[in-house]
Amino acid sequence: MELFSSRNLFYAGGLYLLAITLAGWGFAVGRFNAFPAEQLNGIIEFFIDQPNPDAPVSVVEKITKATLEEKTVRGEAAGFIRHDDSFVDPGFLLMPRYSGSHKQFVIELVRLRDFRVLHQWVPPIEEIVAKLPEPLRTGHNTRDVFVARHPLLLKDGSIVAHTGFGPLFRIDKESRLMWTWDTIQPAHHAISLDPDGNLVVVGNTLNNGEALPSIGKELSDGNIGTPLDGYFTVSVETGKVLRRDHVAQILAESGYESLIYGMYVRNDLDDPVHLNDAEPVLFEQAGIAQRGDVAISLRNISTVLLYRPSTRKVIWLRTGPWIAQHDVDVLPDGRLHVHSNNSSPWNSKRLRKFSDVYVIDPTTDQVERPYYKVLEELGTFNLTEGLSRILPNGDLYFEQTNSGWAFRASEDGLRWEFVNQTRPDFVGRVSWSRYLLPEEINLDWLEANQGEENEWN
């Protein structure tokens, strides 16, 4: 058989032309996004976002699972306990908690003057998770670890929450699923409303390995990847993601790349900043902050900042004296409230005796610790998670997430406390509750005379 027969040359020529055609097509796909670039990118992004089944269980997952049925309660407390009989609390509590009777997280609206549950939502976990691709139905997106974090109550009685590290969802007052959001990227930590009535949700706004034009290539190619964290602006009506703001871009555009790449972050190389709160300012004027600015908390570098989306600039930033903080709020007078965990999440240790609350004036950098005495006496400690709120009369609402414990206190002592007891000597976890002032809640959707005493199990 001749090597250079006309038949062989014909086949060789055909293969050569096919190779040239495929090479040209491949160039067009990569350079000009020709078909099927969009389809291929979707497939690639999907697999990039998949969890690693061999990865170790996170600290948060361990704490969640342990707390459900293995954590000893605080003393003999169970449910709500009143400590100040002379005080009647006018507010409400929106409490997401593990229920022993339901064997899952529920959300309850509690009237604090008499500790009566006015309404209960039971998230349809299986229906929410079914919206996810099969490989994502793991971790926080399972019944065992599902937490219905930081629920937001809307005017029609519906609730927006997320699974802890998974999809944002909305359920109506009858706990029927209304929507899950239109991305497979996970939400985590805080949920807020912006001045336009859109949701602001902390989550992973970047994919692994995704580059940002605001960050120099010599930095992003280093040993530490670009932080995936950011916050989403989401339509409350549809769950559609309207905008994504990336932490790395916010810091880099204001000259703070060193806070991403210049910090020693122990073993948290994939999470160098750890965004846990992005809270829009709703006041017309609050000190140096303006309506529409966003207060941001970055736990792993103990940094809080004020960001102005309209100019894409950080207008104020400070690292410490708080340590590994969660929850930053802008107060009506323009000062900032910071919930300081004072912990080392990497090795599960206390760095100070107790978790504390700081108040700082960004115009003067003056720092106060108004609840030092009572929090020290109570021995508060959040290894991870946790939140607090300074109330108009100066009292403090405080959630110790990992222990299923929440309370209201003055500077002198407890007004009331709540322990989420699920069975004798054990508690279920709570997950970012909300204290609501009377003017912050609309109960028109609530049926008359609804509500029962709760057995707290």
207/385 Cα distance (integer angstroms):
24
289/329 Cα distance (integer angstroms):
11
pLDDT classification of 55: cutoffs 50, 70, 90:
very low
Tokens of 119: 């309404």
pLDDT value at position 346?
A: 67
User: What is the arithmetic mean of pLDDT over 154-170?
Assistant: 96
pLDDT value at position 410?
A: 94
CA dihedral 287, 362, 303, 201 (to 10 degrees): -10
Q: For the chain, what is the mean pLDDT?
A: 83
What region, left, alpha or beta, does residue 239 occupy, with left being phi > 0 and alpha being psi -120 to 50 degrees?
left
pLDDT value at position 314?
A: 97
Cβ contacts of 60 within 8 Å, gap of 6 or more:
164, 165, 384, 385
pLDDT for 57 beyond 80: no
Residue 434 in 3-state DSSP? strand
User: What is the arithmetic mean of pLDDT over 294-321?
Assistant: 96
Among all chains, which residue has been given the structure tokens 């109550």? 153
CA distances from 123 to 61, 81, 92 (A): 19, 27, 20
Residue 378 in 3-state DSSP? helix
DSSP-assigned states of every residue in 265-300? -TT-TT-SS-EEEEEE--SSEETTEETT-EEEEEGG
Q: Are 44 and 419 in contact (CB under 8 A)?
A: no
Omega of the bond leading into 280 within 30 degrees of 0 (cis): no
Q: Across the strands, what pairs with 336?
A: 330, 360
Residue 450 in 3-state DSSP? coil
pLDDT value at position 21?
A: 67
Omega of the bond leading into 362 within 30 degrees of 0 (cis): no
Between the ranges 21-25, 32-36, 212-216, 294-298, where is the mean pLDDT highest? 294-298
Q: Across the strands, what pairs with 79?
A: 419
β 294-298/275-280 pair status: antiparallel
* Strand ranges, E, within 33-186: 79-82, 92-99, 104-111, 116-121, 149-153, 159-162, 168-171, 177-180
pLDDT value at position 257?
A: 86
User: What is the arithmetic mean of pLDDT over 123-145?
Assistant: 89
CA 261 to chain centre: 23
